[in-house]
Amino acid sequence: MKQQLILSDVSVAFATSKGVHSVLEDINLTIEQGEWIAIIGQNGSGKSTLAKVLSRLCPISRGELNVIPARVQMVFQNPEAQIVGETVYEDVCFGMENAAVPPAEMPERARVALEKVGLAHLIDQSVSTLSGGQKQLLGIAGCLAMEAEMIVFDECTAMLDPASREMVLSVARDLQRQGKTLIWITQWMEELADADRVLAFSEGKTRFDGTAQAFFYDGICQSLGFVPPYAVQVAQHLLGQGVALAGRPLTASELSEAVGALCQ
């Protein structure tokens, strides 16, 4: 069956000492199987709350959330915060143990999940020996062992160096090729290039829902206070100078192709 996640007029509010604090307001969103959706917003705009709503870790105050069927898992920002096992194997089995997966199934599910993220060779290693990027991959393996169809990544590259970020992104690209649905919350504008669709939030409301190209080249990015990636800035500068660049490049390699095409 095709997976789908539908939010209809979803609002989330928290009771605080100063009264009711509205965090998400009337969010309408349909996510189809296999989509890679990037979610961006300034600090406090409600991204993590939305991530938790999608993963059903946060109750909604109003509206409706339908997940058909319902295998959503989440990877968090801080690699340390989601590691619970002492060894890679123990950690990848943690979710399965909580979900009462038959013990006989666990070794194979753990092995396959670790293989998909490139950590199978470290299966018996202590988690304390893993890098931050490897810990995030282990978090992803835990989601795969739970047979997640949809994975919500809540700024999972925020604490990683560029090489580790690329390692995690590359695994995410593989997962999308295998049909997984990815919800990718990020503050890194460069990471929007991988997404099929960008959702921008501010003050708990959806301000934009469309392609990364439209986000960067139709003036949305700057109007919401974000700075486009360097490749987009250069392309915009060239377009402003009247250079007839083909397409709307998002990455350095797309920009170099577009410039190369001018010289042919």
Q: How far is the CB of 47 from ligand ATP (least distance, A)?
A: 4
Pick the closer one to ligand ATP by CB: 49 or 236.
49
State the nearest-atom distance from the C-beta of 45 to ligand ATP, in Å: 4
Tell me whether residue 43 or residue 264 sits nearer to ligand ATP (CB atom).
43
Give the nearest distance from C-beta 89 to ligand ATP in angstroms.
31
E strand intervals along 82-237: 150-154, 181-185, 197-202, 205-210
Quick one: 49 or 181, whose CB is closer to ligand ATP? 49
Using CB under 6 A as the criterion, which residues of the chain lie in contact with ligand ATP when the complex forms? 14, 16, 21, 23, 41, 43-49
Neighbours of 92 (CB within 10 A): 29
For the bound state, the minimum distance from the C-beta of residue 106 to ligand ATP, rounded and expressed in Å, comes to: 33
Sheet holding 19-32, edge to edge: 19-32, 4-16, 62-68
Residue 165 CB, nearest approach to ligand ATP (Å): 17
Cβ 174 vs Cβ 118: under 8 Å: no
Closer CB to ligand ATP, 176 or 186, in the complex: 186
Our CB check for ligand ATP shows the closer of 13 and 101 to be 13
Task: Copy the structure tokens of residue 21.
Answer: 């604090």
Q: How many other CB atoms are there within 10 angstroms of residue 45's CB atom?
A: 21
Buried b (16+ CB within 10 A) or exposed e, 215-232: bbbeebbeebebebbebb
